[in-house]
Amino acid sequence: MKTWFTILFGTLLLTCSLAMLAQPQDQPPAVKTPASTVHKKSKTNDGEQRFQANCGRCHNPPEAISPREVKAVLQHMRVRAMLSAEDEKLILKYLAP
Amino acid sequence: MKRILGALIALLGFATSVCSQADVPILSGALAFNTSTTAGATSFTPTLAPVLVAPVGDHWLFEGRAQLQGFFFQQNGTSGPYTGQFFATLDYAQVDYIANPHLTVTVGRFLTPFNIYNERFSAIWIANLQDSPIIFTIGTRTSSASNGGMLRGVLVERPNWLLNYTAYFSAASTTENLQAGRAAGGRIGVFMPNAGIEVGASYQRFLQNGDFNVAGTYFAWQPPQIPLDVRAEYAHSPGGQGYWLEGAMHIAKSRGTSTWLSRLQTVARVQQYFKGTPTPQDELPAADVNQFDFGLNYYLPHDVRLNGSYGRQYSSLGNANIWNVQIAYRFLFPAWPGEHK
C-alpha cells in the first residue's frame, strides 16, 4: 500500500508543480493573451462570441494562449470543430489582435 | 510503448525541421490521476496524454495524441495486493490538408467520427464524467480510431446555421497499439451558433465480422445566456442500442471562472442500454443496463481540474456503485522556446 501512496503523492506533486511552474514561464504578461481578461474587456466582441460558440461548446478555454501558439491552436480547431471561413477570421482577430 | 514514443519523437523532429518560426508547433494535453471504485473493486490510473500539433504553412497540419497509462488494481478484485501495468496507445497521428473551409483531407490514424463523443468529449481534460458512455463502443469499436482517409468540412454556411460533414474509410489493423476496424461511414450535422444548438446523424458500415450497419444521432445545446451544456447521443448496432443524456452547469449566472463558486460545475447523466445480438468483440454489456451518474467538477487556477462522481448501475447481471475521483492538469505550450515577432 505504501507504494500506492507514493505513486499518488508523486503524481499529485508533479501535477501541482507543473501547474505552478508552467504559468510564469509560459505567460509573460506582455506576450500572452489571457482569454479571461479579453472576455471581460469586450463582451460584445464577435470573435469572443465565435470562440465561445465553436471552441467553448466542447471545453473551457485554456487560461492563456500566447500569440506563438495561436496558429497551431486555430489550425487544430479548424479541423476539429470545422470552423467556417468567417469564424476563423474573427477568432484569429480575437486571439491575436 | 517504444514504438509510440519513437513515432511521436520522429513526428516532432520532422515537424521541427520543416516548420518556420511562425509555424510553432504546440505541445498540449493532460496529466491526470484517476481512482475508480466499481462494485467495491478499486483501481488507480495515472495518465499522460500528450498532444502534438504542428502547422506547416497555411494548409498542412500534423496532429498526434498518445496515451501513456498505468492501470493498477487488486489481484483478487476487492482484496489482496495491488498489481498492474503501464501501457501506451496511439490515439491518432494524422496529416491534414486544409484545402479550404469546405474541405479538409486527412490521412493516417484518426479518431473515428461516429457521433461526437469520441472526437470531441472523450479527452480526459474535457470529459465531464470520467467513464465513457455505455454505448461508446458502438461505431468506435476496436480502438476508437480508424486507419485510412477522411474528408470533412463545412458544406453550407449561412449566417444562422452551418451544415458540416465527415466521410471516412478505415482499413483493418491488428498491429499492437494501432488496432482499427475495416469500416466506412460518415456524419452530417447542423450547427446553429446563435442558438447554441447542434444536431446530427452518423452512419457506418462495418466491413468485417460479417458486414453490418451502425447508426446514431446526437444533440448538443449550449444556451448562450446560461452556463449550461446539454448533450445526448443515441446509437444502434446489431449488438445493442442505447442512449445517454448529460447536463452540466456551472454555479454562476454566466460562463467563465472568475469567482470560486463559478468554478464549480455540477454534472448529471442518465443512460439506458438494450442488448441485441452479440457480435464479436463489440465490448458491449451482456445484459440491459440502466445507469445514472452525478458529478462535481472544480476548475482550479492554472488549468487544473478536480472531478468527483458517483454512479449507480442497474443490470440483471448485478447492480453496482461507481465512484470516480480525478485530478487533471491540462498543459499547453510551444514545442520550443522563442520570442513572438
pLDDT, tens digit (0-9, with 9 covering 90-100), for B201-248: 999 999 988 899 999 999 999 998 899 999 999 999 999 999 999 999
- Compute the half-sphere exposure of residue B266: CA atoms within 13 Å on the CB side of its CA: 4
B6 or B212, which is more confident: B212
Q: Is B127 domain-assigned?
A: yes
Q: Is B153 domain-assigned?
A: yes
Could you tell me the residue ranges of all domains in chain A?
1-28, 31-97
B65 or A64, which is more confident: B65
B23 touches chain A (CB under 8 A): yes
B304 pLDDT tier (thresholds 50, 70, 90): very high
A8·B327 Cβ contact <8 A? no
Per-residue model confidence (pLDDT) at position B14 = 57
Residues of B in contact with A53 (CB under 8 A): 193-194, 196, 222, 224
| Predicted confidence (pLDDT) at residue B265 exceeds the cutoff of 50 | yes
Percentage of chain B beyond pLDDT 90 is 74
Cβ under 8 Å to A: B residues 179-238: 193-194, 196, 198, 220, 222, 224, 229
| Domain containing residue B150: CATH number | 2.40.160.10
Give the distance from residue A89's alpha carbon to the nearest chain B alpha carbon, in angstroms: 11
| Predicted confidence (pLDDT) at residue B253 exceeds the cutoff of 90 | no
Number of domains in chain B: 1
B334 or B22, which is more confident: B334
Predicted TM-score (pTM) of the model is 0.84
Q: Which of B120, B113, B127 is nearest to B214 (CA)?
A: B113
A71·B55 Cβ contact <8 A? yes
Per-residue model confidence (pLDDT) at position B142 = 74
Per-residue model confidence (pLDDT) at position B13 = 58
A78·B340 Cβ contact <8 A? no
- In a 3-state reduction of DSSP, which class is residue A58? coil
Q: Which residues contact B39 (CB under 8 A, 6 or more apart)?
A: B318, B320, B321, B322
Residue type, B68: L
Residues of B in contact with A3 (CB under 8 A): 82
Query: Which residue segment(s) compose the domain that B221 sits in?
Result: 96-334
| Predicted confidence (pLDDT) at residue A24 exceeds the cutoff of 60 | no
A18·B25 Cβ contact <8 A? no
B123, B194, B340 ranked by CB distance to A68: nearest? B340
Residue B190: strand pairing partners: B163, B199
pLDDT, mean over chain B: 90
| Predicted confidence (pLDDT) at residue B72 exceeds the cutoff of 50 | yes
Per-residue model confidence (pLDDT) at position A8 = 42
B61·A76 Cβ contact <8 A? yes
Per-residue model confidence (pLDDT) at position B234 = 98
Per-residue model confidence (pLDDT) at position B339 = 64
B33 touches chain A (CB under 8 A): yes
A39-43, B207-211, B230-234, B260-264: range with highest mean pLDDT:
B230-234
Q: Is B277 domain-assigned?
A: yes
| Predicted confidence (pLDDT) at residue B83 exceeds the cutoff of 70 | yes
**For testing the chain A interface, which of B152, B302, B307 should be mutated: the one with the most A CBs within 10 Å?**
B302
Is residue B237 within 8 Å of B139, Cβ to Cβ? Answer: yes
| Beta-carbon count within 10 A of B62 CB | 23
| Beta-carbon count within 10 A of B126 CB | 15
A76·B157 Cβ contact <8 A? no
> What value does the mean pLDDT take over residues B92-107?
95
Q: Is B29 domain-assigned?
A: no
Three-state SS string across chain B, please?
A: CHHHHHHHHHHHHHHHHHCCCCCCCEEEEEEEEEEEEECCEEEEEEEEEEEEEEEECCCEEEEEEEEEEEEEEECCCCCCCEEEEEEEEEEEEEEEEEEECCEEEEEEEEECCCCCHHHHHCCCCCCCCCCCCHHHHCCCHHHCEEEEEEEEEEEEECCCCEEEEEEEEEECECCCCCCECCEEEEEEEEEECCCCEEEEEEEEEECCCCCEEEEEEEEEECCCCCCEEEEEEEEEECCEEEEEEEEEEECCCCCCCCCCCCCEEEEEEEEEEEECCCCCCCCCCCCCEEEEEEEEEEEECCCEEEEEEEEEEEECCCCEEEEEEEEEEEEEEECCCCCCC
> What value does the mean pLDDT take over residues B13-23?
57
Q: Is B31 domain-assigned?
A: no
Per-residue model confidence (pLDDT) at position B17 = 53
A72·B53 Cβ contact <8 A? yes
User: ∠ at Cα B196 (A47, B226), nearest 5°?
Assistant: 90
A22·B152 Cβ contact <8 A? no
Per-residue model confidence (pLDDT) at position A4 = 44
Q: Is B114 domain-assigned?
A: yes
Which residue does chain A place closest to B59, by CA atoms? A75
Q: Which of B93, B277, B234 is nearest to B173 (CA)?
A: B93
B146 or A68, which is more confident: B146
**For testing the chain B interface, which of A3, A7, A8, A11 should be mutated: the one with the most B CBs within 10 Å?**
A11
